Amino acid sequence: MMSVSARNAGTAKSYYAHLQTDAHRAGGEAEREDYYSKDAAGEWFGEGAEAMGLTGAVAVADFHALADGYHPETGEALVQNAGERDRVALYDCTFSAPKSVSNVWAVGDEETRATVERAHDEAVRQTLAEMQERFISTRRGQGGSEFEKVGMVAAMWRHGTSRELDEDLHTHATIMNVAARADGTWGTLDGRSLYEHQKIMGAAYRIHLDEKLREAGFATERDGESFRISDVPQSLEKASSTRREQILEAMAERGVSGAKAAQAAALDTRKAKDHNQDIDQLRERWKARAAEHGFDADKARGAGEPIPPAERRASVEFVQEIVTQNKAVFTEKDLEYAALVAAQGMGRGREDARELFHDTLAECVILRAPDGTTRYSTPELVQKERETMETAQAGRFKTDWTLTPETVAQARAKAEAAAGHALSDEQAKALEYLTTGRGQIQILVGDAGTGKSTTMNAVRQAYEDAGYTVIGVAPQGKQAADLGQSAGMESKTIHRLLSEIERGKTRLDERTVIVADEMGKTDSRLMHDLTQAADQSGAKVIMLGDHKQMQPVGPGAVFRHLADAEKGVGHVRLEEIHRQRDAGDREAVRSMSKGESAQALLHFIDKGQVSIEKNHRAAVKEIARKWVDAAQEVGKEKTLALASTNQRVSDINQAVRAALKNGGELQNGQTFEAVRELGLDPETKQMRTSTERTEYAPGDRALYAGTNDYASDLRRGDLGTVVGVDERGVAVKLDRDESVKLIDPEKQDLRHGYAITADRSQGATVERVVAYATSDSIHREMSYVMASRAKESTEWVTTEAQTKKIEDKTPPTERMLSWADDLAARGEAPALTDEQRASFAAVRDHLDRYADYQIGREGGSQTGLADEKLERFRDVVEAMSVSRQKESTLDYEAPAIDRDRERNDQMPEREHGNDRERATERDRDEAHERHQPTGWDEKAINAAAEIEARQADKASERMAVECLKDYQAAADLHRQGRHLERQAESEPDKDRAAELRDMARAAHGQAEGVRLHADHKRDCLPDEYRQVVKDAEREARRDEKQAAKQEDRAATHYERAAEHAARANDWKESIPSQALNAAEARLERWMAERAATAAKEGMSAGRQDRRDGIEDVRQMTKDREQERQAERQAAREASRERGREQQIER
């Protein structure tokens, strides 16, 4: 890995003393543990260092001069703030070898150590050289808008131990913050570039090291996002990571996570190295520890086998898997990092990783934002997100699931009687929209606490009364269980429903209604699969959700696009909050839903419901106290603490139990021992586990956190109260249905449930909430969820350190910048620098220093803001009141696709038949013209051409699919029009009949408009795609014409049956005549039913013809892509062969 940290001039000199080897100490003592070899002395590196004449060993005077901002030889000031202690003097880039590499280096013989050191040193140098070429620059021009590449001035030190004297091979590369510009002037580096690319450079270092070690004969393998030497036992890696465990324990103690938190914990737990340790003693200790784990360094020197070609190809898919693990839209930087990770442990070097990056980039879709920025996605995600939208739009005007007003009214009465109160006006409106409105996919968007469950209970009642099967689904088991309980329907997870459909256990049809809850938390892949299942079966989907709450874990976020009235299918909305009893609380929740968190927090501050503690331990203790007080008033099952991470939740749970025991409310219970997975170690990428001893006693709150167990009806996220404990396990009475479940904590994941994460709480309702506000929870989505769970009150607890941490990572608000600019304009303060304008803390300090008022008191003292810490916290929350909604590919346009459509629109009819070779050649020529001025190399230009050629095929595929879906929509509208015409013919009321005929004409007119639009798009398609669409549509229309004739025939037979039935009921007719007419009526009805069945089969056949056409279109695109891949593979093989021939010639 590689970490980057900035050091100011005041600390840089003492840091030099830490870095410098003992070889420079007086007395020439023997080697110490710090830096064992002659190579440990600092060494200059970089073009900038060479230009200054700095080569070889680092002299203390030269280092100190550069740290202060002066030229080491002339003493010239190189930067404006030379000599100031607070200036950023250097950036310490630390390259750390994977632990298994350090293990081999520590216990190997002299030759093995030298081999590993050479591999490490070369990897560091190669990475620094790449950094110099790509990321070492200075900013110039107005506002620092221009970048200029400059030479690097760096000093390197190789070290071998951690502060706990574990083996830890690493190099500190200190990049001095000076930059020689091309015009002879000096400036400072753009440090942001180093921070932004540290993950890429860390991965580049690892892949260089992996390549060097494999060349030296070591077998390596992929290990998460890193690699490891295969034969080193993982138990040895963990045993020799004492320092890492210290940092993780410190982070757990504080309830923090992330790189910055790890750095802070490392500083706080750091102790001075023991420079007097003998290196031979350390090596003996390391060897003894390795022997305990059965490791001999000689065993690691086995030749790594070359990677099979199939696995090399598979790496492209692996890159896409890595980069889209939790996002649908990514940058080139994200993709490059994913390619580097995918190549590690696969026998592929840096150049192979670059080729892998270009190969993957060539298979990506270019996305453009309105501001001109470029993003990328995979064809799979682009296709799935657009197919989801197309499916929804295609069924937007369908009325197959429309219920009669009488049925809805009866269902509403039943639901209101069961609830004990009437539906509100907006709930009644939502009920009518979802049961009598048009559309195969309908959406109900409801703010938290607005009564979605009450509304859906009435919707469920209406459809069940009409004979439909109603199935509830949600992304997670607890959410599905909550939906089932609140709305009275059978419910399961979306994954389970799709699995049952695939296995034939569940069958959807036109008489099925799926109620899908928490769609705002459903990622694009799952959303696509659900909508496709509904489309293929003819089922209706009613989606519930709120995109302003927690976001999906997986990639993409389509729900908000589906709910959009213009792009999607629109929605009905519930806004009237019913959950919170206090009007001020309801308004605060509404403010948070709009992103106005500072205004909402002011309400809680005024009510005395925000407290800021000194540290994490004090905050946890205060949360526990508040929890116990609340539980005594409203009950344990109606009280909940919320936090952002599992570790914070665990700390709160322990503190609450301790408080309950101290108060005599909880007795000693029985202890169970279980192995828990704590997640991947961010450095070693190994699964961290711990053996936990957890006590449960009657009265404990418990959370089932295991996988969904449908056999025992346990859902992940179930909360309950412990009612008994014995050697068999823990008896838990579940909140959702008061059933008692016996859970074995040693085999099933059971935890204490006084506190849960905010993510788990979405959808829950309790009386009291105590929320732990931390830097990773103060954003709109999570704070909104936390604030909206409680009916009675929500209390907030945070720490001074968390407030400071939020300040450090948050940009200043527009209000703060405006005040600072006003001060500068009046001459009362200096203008902010670019560096200050990017930092909340810097602007805050600037205003505190120069302004004659405090932020938060500019208009005089505000009520309830006596505590300055609360004022600072309020302004920090204002700065964090931004949405962290996930991006979707639907947020962007793909210009290559748009350009292809425009080109087809302008193309004469005779040019539609261009084959793929000509189109690809034309796209490649256009790519050369567009990208040649940018300085791209030939490979990059060809990659861009490949992208655009592929997107041309994808554009044709999408347009062809749109055509066939439009044709289907037109057919459905014509069918609806014919149905309305028949209704008009039999309607005795002339006014109603005229109205029905008008509706029929409108349906036919709309159908013709849709069909004409589809014809236009079809005519713009290339020949191959256009022919498939024509063939499919011809077959479909033939089947539908037959179906229309059968519908007319059925209508005629129904009319005759009605006439005969009327005669049979006429008392004036003779008995034989009555019997004859009754028989005729039965015969006519039988013939009508046969014709109706034939009509239905004909319409289904037409629909299937178009579906087959869509599959043919997609298969055509796949075939063309396979041809393209085969061509690329052949070109690569030819290139490699030429390279081998040239090598032989040389």
If you average pLDDT over each of 47-51, 222-226, 1105-1109, which comes out highest? 47-51
**Fold category of 305-380 in CATH:** Arc Repressor Mutant, subunit A (1.10.10)
pLDDT surpasses 60 at 253: no
Per-residue pLDDT band for 201 (boundaries 50, 70, 90) equals: very high
CA 637: distance to chain centroid?
Answer: 32
Q: Are strands 226-229 and 490-493 parallel, antiparallel or unpaired?
A: unpaired
Q: CB-based contacts of 148: which residues, under 8 Å, 6+ apart? A: 137, 138, 139, 140, 181, 182
Let me know if the fold of 395-574 is the same as that of 583-809+853-879: yes
Closest CA to 644 of 446, 796, 450: 796
- Percent above pLDDT 70 for the chain: 75
Per-residue pLDDT reduced to its tens digit, 139-164: 776 655 678 888 899 999 898 887 67
- The rounded distance, in Å, linking the Cα atoms of 844 and 873 is 12
- Of 641-650, 832-841, 1052-1061, 1088-1097, the range with the lowest mean pLDDT is 832-841
pLDDT at 363: 82
Closest CA to 395 of 519, 511, 532, 515: 532
969-974 mean pLDDT: 81
126-133 mean pLDDT: 92
45-56 mean pLDDT: 89
pLDDT at 778: 56
- Domain boundaries, given as residue ranges, for the chain: 2-293, 305-380, 395-574, 583-809+853-879, 895-1135
pLDDT at 787: 76
Residue 79 to residues 92, 398, 547, 831, Cα–Cα distance (Å): 19, 70, 48, 19
- The rounded distance, in Å, linking the Cα atoms of 848 and 861 is 16
- The rounded distance, in Å, linking the Cα atoms of 303 and 213 is 10
Q: Which residue has the higher pLDDT, 76 or 18?
A: 76
pLDDT at 906: 34
pLDDT at 1035: 80
pLDDT surpasses 80 at 209: yes
Query: What secondary structure letter does DSSP report for 565?
Result: T
pLDDT surpasses 90 at 464: yes
- The rounded distance, in Å, linking the Cα atoms of 670 and 309 is 56
Q: Which residue has the higher pLDDT, 995 or 941?
A: 995
Q: Which residue has the higher pLDDT, 442 or 842?
A: 442
Q: CB-based contacts of 477: which residues, under 8 Å, 6+ apart? A: 493, 708, 715, 716, 717
CATH class of the region 583-809+853-879: alpha beta
pLDDT surpasses 70 at 254: no
pLDDT surpasses 50 at 659: yes
Q: Is the CB of residue 520 less than 8 Å from the CB of residue 380?
A: no
Cβ-based neighbour number of residue 634 at 10 Å: 16
Q: CB-based contacts of 108: which residues, under 8 Å, 6+ apart? A: 115, 116, 297, 298
Per-residue pLDDT band for 316 (boundaries 50, 70, 90) equals: confident
Across the chain, what does the average pLDDT equal? 77
pLDDT surpasses 70 at 813: no
Does 395-574 carry CATH code 3.40.50.300? yes
